[in-house]
């Protein structure tokens, strides 16, 4: 008898490309779902059902077991129930199922524990996450709007409306035997765990994703680091202040920080693999990298591809890589690593993708600040 979390996360999405891999505060949606489940007291094992290799890789690196979903159960028309039932064929000893949707980025582990407790009390056959709904709802019928649950001739105060809740879509609980028998996540006696407004956010549109990122930036730490196995840096705007000096002969030079140079020395003493990855073709990038004794790859328009190749060559898990960038051309590469970091003066669009936002600006101690954060954990 076991309690298992199953997270269906297919690769396709019409509203947002690669939706389940989109980062919120530098952590992909599927990774956030896995981490919420693993942080509970009551869930024994976590599974991710997917048809995509990248999602599988992220799920495994965050501690989940992957269930390979067949193509016929991964299309737009495939129901969540079909994915759950397929997963239960792979996990035959599952008793209580916690079905989690990765599109809810702020699932509180304590809410999951509460839901498991409700199920284990024997009072319910199914439990779902909900949020209080005290709005006035209307239904379109042809060209006319019809009020639902209230009378236009006697409009009640909000506090006088009956208590109502709305599904958030974050999680659903049921017995494996129950869904196998009924074919539905809803059966028997149904209860709800009421979650907060933040926890009720579900990502379906680009606007939802933008809101989630802004909420995460305001409500989660942007200064703590986890275990790091390698560090990758952009050059312009990271090792420099993003300015260039040009003399009358057209020769370019840049300004760098000695603090940042010493930071590289400290990271090398810690035996961390280091890489400067730049789109810039000017040989000054290689000159600086050679001075620092750091591997360099420059002139790269596709930094994500170059980073993936480098990590594979060096057998480095990208989920344990810190990438320090500052502008939109770093976004794709930042999306591949477990620790996307930006300078304090980074472009606002990439700040929303970062897991750590430094106080220091590029060329003015940002590299040293990152090194200090990493080495404090060493």
pLDDT digits (tens, 9 = 90+) for 268-323: 999 999 999 999 888 999 999 999 999 999 999 999 999 999 999 999 999 899 99
| H helical segments located in the chain | 29-38, 53-61, 80-90, 109-120, 176-182, 206-219, 258-269, 284-292, 303-314, 331-334, 348-351, 366-377
| H helical segments located in 168-281 | 176-182, 206-219, 258-269
pLDDT digits (tens, 9 = 90+) for 183-202: 999 999 999 999 999 999 99
Beta-strand pair 65-68/274-277: unpaired
**Distances, alpha carbon 289 to alpha carbons 213, 214, 285, in Å:** 34, 35, 6
pLDDT for res 362: 94
Beta-strand pair 137-141/144-148: antiparallel
What residues contact 348, with CB distance under 8 A and at least 6 apart? none
Confidence grade of residue 235 (pLDDT, cut at 50, 70, 90): very high
Statement: residue 378 has pLDDT above 70 = no
Confidence grade of residue 162 (pLDDT, cut at 50, 70, 90): confident
SS3 assignment, position 188 = coil
CB 233 within 8 A of CB 274: yes
pLDDT for res 248: 84
What residues contact 12, with CB distance under 8 A and at least 6 apart? 74, 75, 76
SS3 assignment, position 348 = helix
Distance CA 42, CA 109 (A): 9
Confidence grade of residue 64 (pLDDT, cut at 50, 70, 90): very high
> What's the mean pLDDT in 206-220?
90
Strand partners, 139: 146
Statement: residue 213 has pLDDT above 90 = yes
pLDDT for res 74: 84
**Mean pLDDT value across the chain:** 92
pLDDT for res 222: 66
pLDDT above 70 coverage of the chain, percent: 99
pLDDT digits (tens, 9 = 90+) for 1-60: 799 999 999 988 878 989 999 999 989 999 999 999 999 999 999 999 999 998 998 899
The number of helix segments (H) and strand segments (E) in the chain equals 12, 19
């Amino acid at each position: 008898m076991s309690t298992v979390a199953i997270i269906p996360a297919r690769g396709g999405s019409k509203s947002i490309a690669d939706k389940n891999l989109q980062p919120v505060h530098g952590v992909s949606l599927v990774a956030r779902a896995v981490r919420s489940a693993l942080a509970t007291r009551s869930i024994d094992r976590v599974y991710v059902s997917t048809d995509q290799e990248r999602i599988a890789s992220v799920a495994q690196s965050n501690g989940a077991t992957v269930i390979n979903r067949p193509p016929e159960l991964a299309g737009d028309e495939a129901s969540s129930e079909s994915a759950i039932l397929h997963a239960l064929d792979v996990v035959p000893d599952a008793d209580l199922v916690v079905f989690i949707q990765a599109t809810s980025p702020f699932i509180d582990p304590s809410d999951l524990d509460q839901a498991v407790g409700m199920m284990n009390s024997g009072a319910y056959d199914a439990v779902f996450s909900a949020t209080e709904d005290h709005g006035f709802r209307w239904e379109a019928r042809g060209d006319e709007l019809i009020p639902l649950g209230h009378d236009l001739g006697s409009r009640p105060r909000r506090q006088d409306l009956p208590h109502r809740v709305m599904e958030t879509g974050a999680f659903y609980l049921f017995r494996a035997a129950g869904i196998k028998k009924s074919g539905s996540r809803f059966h028997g006696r149904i209860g709800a765990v009421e979650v907060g407004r933040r926890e009720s956010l579900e990502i379906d549109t680009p606007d939802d994703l933008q809101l989630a990122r802004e909420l995460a930036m305001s409500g989660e730490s942007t200064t703590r680091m986890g275990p790091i196995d390698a560090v990758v840096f952009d050059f312009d705007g990271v090792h420099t202040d993003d300015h260039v000096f040009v003399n009358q002969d057209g020769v370019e030079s840049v300004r760098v920080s000695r603090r940042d140079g010493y930071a590289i020395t400290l990271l090398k003493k810690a035996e961390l693999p280091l890489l400067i990855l730049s789109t810039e073709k000017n040989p000054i990038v290689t000159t600086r990298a050679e001075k620092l004794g750091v591997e360099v790859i420059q002139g790269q328009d596709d930094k994500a591809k170059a980073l993936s190749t480098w990590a594979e060559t060096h057998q480095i898990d990208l989920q344990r890589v810190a990438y320090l960038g500052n502008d939109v051309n770093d976004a794709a590469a930042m999306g591949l690593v477990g620790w996307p970091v930006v300078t304090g003066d980074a472009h606002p669009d990439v700040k929303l993708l970062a897991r750590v936002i430094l106080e220091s600006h590029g060329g003015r101690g940002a590299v040293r600040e990152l090194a200090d954060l990493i080495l404090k954990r060493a």
